[in-house]
Amino acid sequence: QIVTVRGIAGTTVTISPAIYLPNWRSSQSPGAWWSSAVPITMSGIEDLTVNHSGSGSVMSGTYFFNASGCWMKNVKSLNANRNHVWLYQSAHVTVRDNYFYGTRNAASQSYGIETYMNSDSLVENNIFQHVTVGMMTGGSTTGTVFGYNNSIDDFYNIASWMQSSSYFHDGGIAFVLFEGNDGIGFTADAIHGTANFRTVFRNLFTRWG
């Protein structure tokens, strides 16, 4: 879980928000890690079209790394590689009102929005078209919300198999909400470890695309 330090008094550190998971115990010697670089904050991308067809080996269309309080809004993103947006080691990022079309490979790692070590972000009111997996929740994602997104024509390069439009796919995922999304299906697996305290509520999964 990524938090903000609000105060330090001797060996007492005050953080916000509070710890989510109920299994923190002093007997387990919990620790904290912080980046040596100051996070980027209050930076956003709005109102443009980006085509990634010629981007070579670049993995992400838009990459939020070590970011807090940033956003992406009203962007049309075309033919990204691994993912259109990667929320990586970041918190409090909003991705809203965007259109994502296609992936370069339509492979098992061809995503719309992917999270990894992400906390308290909002993915809302986006459209994913011809994207293999629109919403991929990766490891150690906590407190993030995927709400009112739409996935259509979820193309995958294996004709006999169709991926789900939404996933819990990694260890350490906790307190993540999927609400009001439209897509072909939802998968919660243990491929990379288990997830906990997750909610999938009032979504429409059609089982076809």
81-109: pLDDT as tens digits = 999 999 999 999 999 999 999 999 999 89
Q: Given this model, what pLDDT does residue 207 score?
A: 83
pTM of the entire structure? 0.95
Q: How far apart are CA 32 and CA 1, in angstroms?
A: 10
51, containing H or E segment:
strand 44-51
Mean pLDDT computed over every residue of the chain: 95
Kindly indicate the confidence band of residue 162, based on its pLDDT and cuts at 50, 70 and 90.
confident
- pLDDT for 171-197, tens place per residue? 999 999 999 999 999 999 888 888 899
Q: What is the pLDDT of residue 195?
A: 87
Nearest CA to 87 among 37, 57, 58, 121? 121
Pairing of strands 122-124, 40-41: unpaired
In the 8-state DSSP scheme, what is residue 79? E
Residues 100-136: b if buried by 16+ CB within 10 A, e if exposed: bbbbeebeeebbbbbbbbbbbbbbbebbbbbbbbbbb
The pLDDT of residue 193 is 87
CB contact set of 79 (below 8 Å; sequence gap of 6+): 51, 52, 53, 101, 102, 103, 104
**Over the stretch 54-66, which tens digit does the pLDDT of each residue have?**
998 999 999 999 9
- Please report which confidence band the pLDDT of residue 209 belongs to, taking 50, 70 and 90 as the band edges: low
What local confidence, expressed as pLDDT, does residue 64 receive?
98
Burial 74-87 (b: 16+ CB within 10 A, else e): ebebbbbbbbbbbb
d(CA 64, CA 66): 7
Please enumerate in sequence order all residues whose Cβ is within 8 A of that of 161, keeping only pairs 6 or more positions apart, or say none.
none
pLDDT tens digit sequence for 117-155: 999 999 999 999 999 999 999 999 999 999 999 999 999
| pLDDT reported for residue 159 | 87
Enumerate the β-bridge partners of residue 23.
none
Report pLDDT digits (tens) over 34-51. 989 999 999 999 999 999
pLDDT at residue 39, as a whole number: 93
